[in-house]
Amino acid sequence: MPVAKEAKPRTQAASNNAAVLRAELQRKKKELTAIREILLSINASSDLRSILNGIAQTTTRVMGVDSTSIYLLDRSSQRLILKATTGLFPEAVDHGYLRMGEGLTGWAAQHRQLVAVRDAQRDPRFHEVPNTRERSFKSLMAVPLISQDRVVGAMNVQTRRRHTWTAGEIEFVSLIGEAVAGILERAILQEESELLS
Protein backbone atom coordinates (compact mmCIF):
# COMPACT_ATOMS: atom_id res chain seq x y z
CA MET A 1 0.00 0.00 0.00
CA PRO A 2 2.73 2.61 0.76
CA VAL A 3 4.19 1.95 -2.71
CA ALA A 4 0.94 3.05 -4.39
CA LYS A 5 0.90 6.30 -2.38
CA GLU A 6 4.48 7.07 -3.43
CA ALA A 7 3.74 6.42 -7.09
CA LYS A 8 0.98 9.03 -7.23
CA PRO A 9 3.21 12.00 -6.19
CA ARG A 10 5.90 10.84 -8.64
CA THR A 11 3.33 10.60 -11.42
CA GLN A 12 2.05 14.09 -10.55
CA ALA A 13 5.62 15.47 -10.50
CA ALA A 14 6.39 13.86 -13.86
CA SER A 15 3.17 15.29 -15.29
CA ASN A 16 4.06 18.76 -13.98
CA ASN A 17 7.58 18.50 -15.44
CA ALA A 18 6.16 17.43 -18.80
CA ALA A 19 3.78 20.43 -18.80
CA VAL A 20 6.65 22.81 -18.01
CA LEU A 21 8.75 21.30 -20.80
CA ARG A 22 5.85 21.58 -23.26
CA ALA A 23 5.35 25.24 -22.34
CA GLU A 24 9.07 25.95 -22.74
CA LEU A 25 9.09 24.17 -26.11
CA GLN A 26 6.10 26.24 -27.27
CA ARG A 27 7.83 29.46 -26.17
CA LYS A 28 11.03 28.52 -28.04
CA LYS A 29 9.05 27.61 -31.14
CA LYS A 30 7.24 30.96 -31.02
CA GLU A 31 10.57 32.81 -30.62
CA LEU A 32 12.22 30.94 -33.50
CA THR A 33 9.24 31.73 -35.70
CA ALA A 34 9.58 35.40 -34.75
CA ILE A 35 13.30 35.47 -35.52
CA ARG A 36 12.57 33.83 -38.88
CA GLU A 37 9.82 36.40 -39.55
CA ILE A 38 12.14 39.29 -38.67
CA LEU A 39 14.88 37.96 -40.95
CA LEU A 40 12.41 37.37 -43.80
CA SER A 41 11.05 40.91 -43.48
CA ILE A 42 14.60 42.28 -43.50
CA ASN A 43 15.43 40.30 -46.64
CA ALA A 44 12.21 41.43 -48.33
CA SER A 45 12.87 45.12 -47.71
CA SER A 46 15.58 47.41 -48.96
CA ASP A 47 14.79 50.53 -46.98
CA LEU A 48 15.90 51.03 -43.39
CA ARG A 49 12.54 52.38 -42.15
CA SER A 50 10.66 49.23 -43.23
CA ILE A 51 13.29 47.00 -41.66
CA LEU A 52 13.11 48.85 -38.33
CA ASN A 53 9.30 48.87 -38.29
CA GLY A 54 9.20 45.14 -39.07
CA ILE A 55 11.56 44.36 -36.18
CA ALA A 56 9.58 46.54 -33.75
CA GLN A 57 6.17 45.18 -34.75
CA THR A 58 7.23 41.53 -34.65
CA THR A 59 8.98 41.93 -31.29
CA THR A 60 5.93 43.65 -29.77
CA ARG A 61 3.53 40.99 -31.00
CA VAL A 62 5.62 37.96 -30.05
CA MET A 63 6.61 39.23 -26.61
CA GLY A 64 3.17 40.61 -25.79
CA VAL A 65 4.66 43.94 -24.68
CA ASP A 66 3.06 47.35 -25.08
CA SER A 67 5.97 49.04 -26.85
CA THR A 68 9.14 48.24 -28.75
CA SER A 69 11.40 51.13 -29.72
CA ILE A 70 14.59 51.14 -31.76
CA TYR A 71 17.16 53.91 -31.45
CA LEU A 72 20.09 54.26 -33.86
CA LEU A 73 23.32 55.99 -32.93
CA ASP A 74 24.19 59.21 -34.73
CA ARG A 75 27.96 59.09 -34.44
CA SER A 76 28.57 62.80 -34.94
CA SER A 77 26.28 63.93 -32.10
CA GLN A 78 26.58 60.73 -30.00
CA ARG A 79 22.79 60.69 -29.75
CA LEU A 80 20.53 57.67 -29.96
CA ILE A 81 17.77 58.79 -32.33
CA LEU A 82 14.35 57.14 -32.12
CA LYS A 83 13.82 55.48 -35.51
CA ALA A 84 10.94 53.04 -34.94
CA THR A 85 8.35 52.45 -32.25
CA THR A 86 5.12 50.60 -31.65
CA GLY A 87 4.05 52.27 -28.41
CA LEU A 88 5.43 55.80 -28.30
CA PHE A 89 3.95 58.71 -30.24
CA PRO A 90 4.70 58.16 -33.95
CA GLU A 91 5.53 61.88 -34.22
CA ALA A 92 8.54 61.27 -31.95
CA VAL A 93 10.24 59.12 -34.62
CA ASP A 94 13.34 60.96 -35.95
CA HIS A 95 12.89 63.63 -33.24
CA GLY A 96 13.10 61.84 -29.90
CA TYR A 97 16.60 61.04 -28.73
CA LEU A 98 18.80 60.06 -25.82
CA ARG A 99 22.46 60.86 -25.34
CA MET A 100 24.77 57.88 -24.93
CA GLY A 101 24.50 56.85 -21.28
CA GLU A 102 21.24 58.76 -20.76
CA GLY A 103 18.24 56.81 -19.52
CA LEU A 104 18.09 53.04 -19.28
CA THR A 105 18.33 52.61 -23.05
CA GLY A 106 21.30 54.98 -23.33
CA TRP A 107 22.92 53.21 -20.38
CA ALA A 108 22.51 49.84 -22.13
CA ALA A 109 24.15 51.24 -25.28
CA GLN A 110 27.03 52.94 -23.45
CA HIS A 111 27.77 49.99 -21.16
CA ARG A 112 27.07 47.40 -23.86
CA GLN A 113 24.86 45.51 -21.45
CA LEU A 114 21.25 44.49 -21.34
CA VAL A 115 19.25 46.16 -18.59
CA ALA A 116 15.87 44.88 -17.37
CA VAL A 117 13.89 46.65 -14.65
CA ARG A 118 10.44 46.08 -13.19
CA ASP A 119 9.84 49.73 -12.26
CA ALA A 120 11.73 51.91 -14.73
CA GLN A 121 10.68 55.26 -13.28
CA ARG A 122 12.14 54.39 -9.89
CA ASP A 123 15.50 53.45 -11.38
CA PRO A 124 18.02 56.31 -10.97
CA ARG A 125 19.07 55.87 -14.62
CA PHE A 126 15.54 56.55 -15.90
CA HIS A 127 15.15 59.50 -18.26
CA GLU A 128 11.91 60.23 -20.04
CA VAL A 129 12.27 61.12 -23.70
CA PRO A 130 10.12 64.28 -24.05
CA ASN A 131 6.91 64.18 -26.12
CA THR A 132 6.81 60.39 -26.47
CA ARG A 133 4.17 59.15 -23.99
CA GLU A 134 6.92 57.16 -22.26
CA ARG A 135 5.69 58.07 -18.78
CA SER A 136 2.73 55.67 -19.18
CA PHE A 137 5.06 52.63 -19.22
CA LYS A 138 6.29 50.86 -16.10
CA SER A 139 8.73 48.06 -16.92
CA LEU A 140 11.55 48.36 -19.42
CA MET A 141 14.20 46.11 -20.91
CA ALA A 142 16.87 47.55 -23.20
CA VAL A 143 19.55 45.82 -25.22
CA PRO A 144 22.49 47.40 -27.06
CA LEU A 145 22.75 46.78 -30.80
CA ILE A 146 26.41 45.94 -31.41
CA SER A 147 27.99 44.98 -34.72
CA GLN A 148 31.68 44.13 -35.06
CA ASP A 149 32.36 45.67 -31.64
CA ARG A 150 30.64 48.95 -32.62
CA VAL A 151 27.44 50.18 -31.00
CA VAL A 152 24.95 50.97 -33.76
CA GLY A 153 22.01 51.65 -31.45
CA ALA A 154 19.74 50.15 -28.83
CA MET A 155 16.32 48.56 -28.64
CA ASN A 156 13.90 48.57 -25.74
CA VAL A 157 10.64 46.85 -24.87
CA GLN A 158 8.19 48.26 -22.33
CA THR A 159 4.99 47.29 -20.54
CA ARG A 160 2.27 49.46 -19.02
CA ARG A 161 2.03 47.18 -16.00
CA ARG A 162 4.93 46.27 -13.76
CA HIS A 163 6.47 43.12 -15.14
CA THR A 164 9.27 40.93 -13.90
CA TRP A 165 11.29 39.94 -16.95
CA THR A 166 11.88 36.20 -17.26
CA ALA A 167 15.14 34.58 -18.28
CA GLY A 168 13.43 33.49 -21.50
CA GLU A 169 12.34 37.05 -22.34
CA ILE A 170 15.81 38.38 -21.62
CA GLU A 171 17.34 35.68 -23.81
CA PHE A 172 14.89 36.44 -26.63
CA VAL A 173 15.51 40.21 -26.68
CA SER A 174 19.27 39.57 -26.56
CA LEU A 175 18.96 37.20 -29.50
CA ILE A 176 17.01 39.74 -31.54
CA GLY A 177 19.63 42.40 -30.79
CA GLU A 178 22.46 40.10 -31.81
CA ALA A 179 20.65 38.93 -34.95
CA VAL A 180 19.76 42.35 -36.32
CA ALA A 181 22.67 44.61 -35.31
CA GLY A 182 24.92 43.72 -38.24
CA ILE A 183 22.04 43.86 -40.71
CA LEU A 184 21.06 47.29 -39.41
CA GLU A 185 24.62 48.55 -39.65
CA ARG A 186 24.83 47.50 -43.30
CA ALA A 187 21.43 49.06 -44.04
CA ILE A 188 22.55 52.32 -42.39
CA LEU A 189 25.77 52.37 -44.43
CA GLN A 190 23.84 51.68 -47.64
CA GLU A 191 21.36 54.46 -46.87
CA GLU A 192 24.20 56.91 -46.10
CA SER A 193 26.04 56.05 -49.32
CA GLU A 194 22.83 56.53 -51.35
CA LEU A 195 22.35 59.97 -49.78
CA LEU A 196 25.90 60.95 -50.73
CA SER A 197 25.54 59.90 -54.36
What burial letters (b/e) apply to 13-49, b meaning 16+ CB within 10 Å?
Answer: eeeeeeeeeeeeeebeeebeebbebbbebbeeeeebe
What's the number of CA atoms in the CB half-sphere (13 Å) around residue 98? Answer: 29
Note the pLDDT of residue 8: 63
Tens of pLDDT along 187-196? Answer: 777 777 777 7
CATH no. for residue 178? 3.30.450.40
What percent of the chain is predicted at pLDDT more than 70?
Answer: 94
CA separation for the pair 135, 67 (Å, rounded): 12
Mean pLDDT, rounded, for 57-62: 90
Question: 157: part of which helix (H) or strand (E)?
Answer: strand 150-159
Is pLDDT larger for residue 186 or for residue 80?
80
Among the listed residues 119, 153, 124, the one whose alpha carbon sits nearest the alpha carbon of residue 135: 119
Tens of pLDDT along 3-51? Answer: 555 556 667 777 778 887 888 788 778 778 877 887 777 777 778 898 8
Tens of pLDDT along 112-121? Answer: 999 999 999 9
Tens of pLDDT along 118-141? Answer: 999 999 999 999 888 887 899 999
Note the pLDDT of residue 5: 57
Residues 76 and 69 sit within 8 Å (Cβ to Cβ): no
Per-residue pLDDT band for 62 (boundaries 50, 70, 90) equals confident
Residue 164 CB partners (closer than 8 Å, separation 6+): 118, 139
Number of domains present in the structure of the chain:
1
CA separation for the pair 110, 102 (Å, rounded): 9
Domain range for 97: 2-196
